Structure 1
Amino acid sequence: MLTAALRVYTWDRPTSSISSDRLEDAALPSLERALTVYRSMPGRSRGHVRNAARLALEGLRPDRVEPVVKLLEDAASYEWPTPRGWAERRVRVFEAAASRHPLLEEGAANAVLAETVGLVAPSHEEAVADLYADFPEFHVLRDFPRGYTADALRADYDLAQAQALLYSATHVTVEAQEDFKHILRYARLARLLHRLERAGDGYRFTLDGPNSILRRTRAYGVEFARFLAALVRTRDWRLTAEIELRKGWRPFIYRLSSDDGLGAGRAAAPVFDSSLEETFARRFGEERDGWRLLREAAVLETGRSLLVPDFVFRHEDGTEVLLEIVGYWTPEYLDEKFRKLRGVRAPNLIVAVPKALALRAGTLPAAVVPFARRLRVTDVLPKLEAFRGGGAS
């Protein structure tokens, strides 16, 4: 990710709106030249490579150069010596030089280096690089990914700028129509608190942190940025954030959506969590006997936590039934899953479990469908039809 000092944005005070920077197609040739620099300079020092990249980016708008170089640096691999002993090595050189001060004769400095640390370099620049080899500026470029393209660099830049703007976010909401389970998982991984409410055919997630309850704060900006990096892999979402550029300023409104293409080139979130779910969905099809199959299209409250059922079935007569598949997982996973399911208060819920767990599942407030190696469509359909008649067993 970029630092806050490297973010580039535009804002409009009359509308209180703000936008992160996006690179145009015209920037691609400059990006390609900078990539060529990194690909062609293994064995050179970091400082030398960075300066060459800056020259290659001269056609780019000046405020964009350093953010691009930072992203190139993140992709590059450097090698450097272990830090142990390097400071002491320099101290010995300086002490020896101080005892002979002033070093006016030609070759006097090289003699000190050779005598104290055995350093022999053909030029002053190389001597400095060897003496300070543990400094980042003198680390040596080892490798750069050959498959990293200008389009990929542009996509990384656009996402990184969006993330950097969220460093100043005090409040974030996400409205989504799909991938609810992934969004909840990403929010938890980013250590964000989340509140949930219905919004049309989807849900609205309000994200913040523990201290937000007490006061307006930008303390969770990095967490919002990490969450965004995962969110862009999902589908059909809209994000709105309040951005406080300076303390005391009126917040600007920042809007993003899945249509902005920030997930370009990134692997989409997996549609299914297991082959068990994938096989069942494929065999059922999108629609069967008046039932339409939807993937993770509902969120249930289970006491103090949330549960996203694997499937939602919607009949053409308006009946809606939820299906949660409990697979073959660890005992800890099963304990947590059953704890959540016991807290569900959804009248139209089917829980599919391996036959070995059927007795345990019998205590759940749901219709239970045992299965052997795979869940059969013919076992689920009667349960669905029973809900149309007003109940299930």
Structure 2
Amino acid sequence: MIHRYWGESIQPKRLPIKAEWVAIAADLIALFQAHQGQTQGQLNQQLQVLEGEDTDYRIKRGLAHILRSSFSTFEPISPLEPPMLRERAFALASKAVPSPAATQSHLQTLADQLSQELERDVIPDEIRQGLYADLKENHILTAFEAPTPEALLHRYNLSQVQGIFYKATQVKLQAYRNDPGEYKLLFRYLKLFRLMAYIEGDADQGFTIEIDGPTSLFKPSTRYGLDMAKLIPAILHVTKWQLTATLVMRDRYTQQLKERRYSLEADCGLVSHYPPGQPYDSMLEESFANRWPHKKTPWQLEREVDLVPIPGSVMIPDFRLVHPDGRTYLLEIVGYWRPEYLRKKFAQVRKAETPNLILAVSERLNLEKAGVKTTDVPAKVVWFKNKLTPKLILDCLEA
């Protein structure tokens, strides 16, 4: 992250979407495209040449990192798992006196053996490439989804801002009166990334959301810091908002920890790469939703359409079930196992006091260890094993 200080506040360095930087981004994209099918080591060598000795090498390196991590697929290419391939190649080599002729001979022998085992032609060059294919620099660039130069610059600017939140102790987000769908999308991402948040307000007036940052934890968590940073592209889908982050950073001169501030508003000019649609929290939910249309039932399944306000938070049930006669039920799927998550989830259900709530609970969960009981929640409870089927829910509704 490249940033500068303004008093007690901090500002990340952003790149203007101008011809100079567009050209640099285009050169980097072209370099990745030209190296498809080559090793990561070969690509890195050319990136170093492109960086040169210019003072902007850190920016070029940052752009290349985004292309490498977000748009590229690197894979080890080898006829066998490299350790197994090395073992077999070295075993053959130990039987002959080292020489170029012997090397070629045992490579050909091994190629013939593997051709029979794998039922395809294996050539000595594949073995040479595969012997150390597990080393990162030998991974092959097998796919590259080229962004536009402008999209790459927008992604860079967003990453500069995201990096700030690794040092956050707290983030206070004020979401003003917006379209209800935008709130739901925002709360879904809060839920998806399992961030610790305190929420006040309502859909008519807006919400104040206080989120604990990674440096507020007893032991700072890199995973939690990544999840915090992932929330920023989601916030950009909300029309009217403003946030303030409290940061703890080490002073570059004294090396002492110092508190800083960072503010961001809806008109910040950042561009989200998240789709505006609604991703599922898990394959469990997605699988359940995909199975529902195959059931011949008058009950309609709707995806997260209700916000249930509870003290200090908002509960967003996974689905709503609507019958033509006017009956409505909310469905919440509990399949995640962490004790703190389970305690929080069941506490939410108790606070919500929603009599038309169905709670689908995995039998794999150790509720006793988490200290929670299904008997003290005002909801219908449905138990499932490996997957939640529509039949289980329909049986509950008909009962």
Shorter-chain TM range is: 0.5 to 0.7
Report the equivalent of 1:252. 260
Shift of 1:81: 3.5
The equivalent of 2:314 in structure 1 is 306
Q: 1:55 to 1:242 in 2, by over 3 A?
A: same
Shift of 1:73: 1.5
**Retained in 2: the 8 A contact 1:21–1:161?**
yes
Amino acid paired to 2:208:
R
* 1:162 match: secondary structure: helix
- 2:104 is matched with 111
Query: Is 1:237 aligned to 2:249, yes or no?
Result: no
**Structure 2: distance between partners of 1:68 and 1:269:** 27
Picking from 203, 207, 214, the partner of 2:207 is 203
Cα-to-partner distance string for 1:216-253 (whole Å, 9 max, x where unaligned): 95663222112113112222222221222349601221
2:14 maps to a residue whose letter is R
**Do the aligned residues in 2 keep the contact of 1:172 with 1:206 (CA within 8 Å)?**
yes
SS in 2 for 1:259: coil
Q: Give 1:80 shift.
A: 3.3
SS of corresponding position for 2:211? strand
Find the aligned partners of 1:252 and 1:237 in 2 and give their Cα distance: 21
Distance 2:109 2:263 in 1: 61
Q: Which amino acid in 1 is paired with 2:38?
A: R
How many angstroms does 1:43 deviate by? 2.0
What is the CA deviation profile of residues 288-318 of structure 1, one whole-angstrom value per residue up to 9, with x for unaligned ones?
xxxxxxxxxxx8743564269xxxxxxxxxx
Structure 2 unmatched runs, 5+: 112-122, 279-306, 334-345, 356-399
3-state SS of 2:174 partner: strand
Distance 1:341 1:207 in 2: 21
* Cα contact 1:71–1:157 (8 A) shared by 2: yes
Residue type at the aligned position of 2:67? L
Pick from 84, 87, 91 the counterpart of residue 83 of structure 2: 87
Q: CA deviation at 1:207?
A: 0.4
- Alpha-carbon deviation of 1:87? 0.8
Distance, in Å, in 2 between the alignment partners of 1:342 and 1:192 is 23
How many percent identity over aligned positions? 24
Work out the CA distance in 1 between the residues paired with 2:349 and 2:167.
39
From the superposition, tell whether residues 209 and 73 of structure 1 become closer, same or farther in structure 2 (CA, over 3 Å). Answer: closer
Asked whether the 8 Å contact 1:244–1:250 carries over to 2, the reply is: yes
TM-fit CA distance, 1:197: 4.1
| TM-score, scaled relative to structure 1 | 0.59
Match of 2:183 among 180, 184, 207: 180
CA apart distance, 1:150: 0.5
Query: Structure 1 142/134 Cα, relative in aligned 2: closer, same or farther at 3 Å?
Result: same
> Given the alignment of the two structures, is residue 32 of structure 1 paired with residue 35 of structure 2, yes or no?
no
* Partner SS state of residue 36, structure 2: coil
What is the aligned partner in structure 2 of residue 71 from structure 1?
A: 66
Q: 1:17: which partner in 2?
A: 9
Q: 1:330 to 1:32 in 2, by over 3 A?
A: farther
- Equivalent-residue separation in structure 2 for 1:211 and 1:166 (angstroms): 9
> Aligned in 2, Cα 1:159/1:83: closer, same or farther, shift over 3 Å?
farther
CA distance in 1, matches of 2:212, 2:93: 57
Q: Which amino acid aligns with 1:262?
A: L
Q: Kindly tell me: are residues 41 and 60 of structure 1, through their superposed partners in 2, closer, same or farther at Cα, counting changes over 3 Å? A: farther
Partner of residue 261, structure 1: 269
Deviation larger for 154-163 or 43-52: 43-52
- Count residues with an aligned counterpart: 286
1:221 matched residue in structure 2 = 225
Aligned to 1:61: 56
The answer to whether 1:191 aligns with 2:164 is: no
1:46 pairs, out of 40, 51, 56, with 40
Q: Secondary structure at the match of 2:264?
A: strand
Per the alignment, residue 278 of structure 1 pairs with none
Aligned residue in 2 for 1:317: none
CA contact (8 A) 2:22 2:150 kept: yes
**Aligned runs of 1:350-365 on 2, under 5 Å?**
none
Indicate how the Cα distance of structure 1 residues 99 and 49 shifts in structure 2: closer, same or farther if over 3 A, else same.
same
Q: Report the TM-score when normalising by structure 2.
A: 0.58
The answer as to whether partners of 2:73 and 2:144 remain within 8 angstroms in 1 is yes
2:162 is matched with which residue?
Answer: 163
CA contact (8 A) 1:93 1:116 kept: no
* Residue segments in structure 1 that go unaligned for 5+ positions in a row: 1-6, 271-298, 309-324, 345-393
| Equivalent residue letter for 1:252 | R
Contact 2:5 2:11 in 1 (8 A): yes
Contact 1:34 1:54 in 2 (8 A): no
Q: For structure 1, which segment, 159-168 or 111-120, has the greater mean C-alpha deviation from structure 2 after superposition?
A: 111-120
Report the equivalent of 1:151.
150
Superposition deviation, residue 35 in structure 1? 0.7
Deviation at 1:8, TM superposition (A): 2.6
C-alpha distance in structure 1 between counterparts of 2:91 and 2:349, whole Å: 70
Secondary structure in structure 1 of the residue aligned to 2:124: coil
RMSD: 4.3
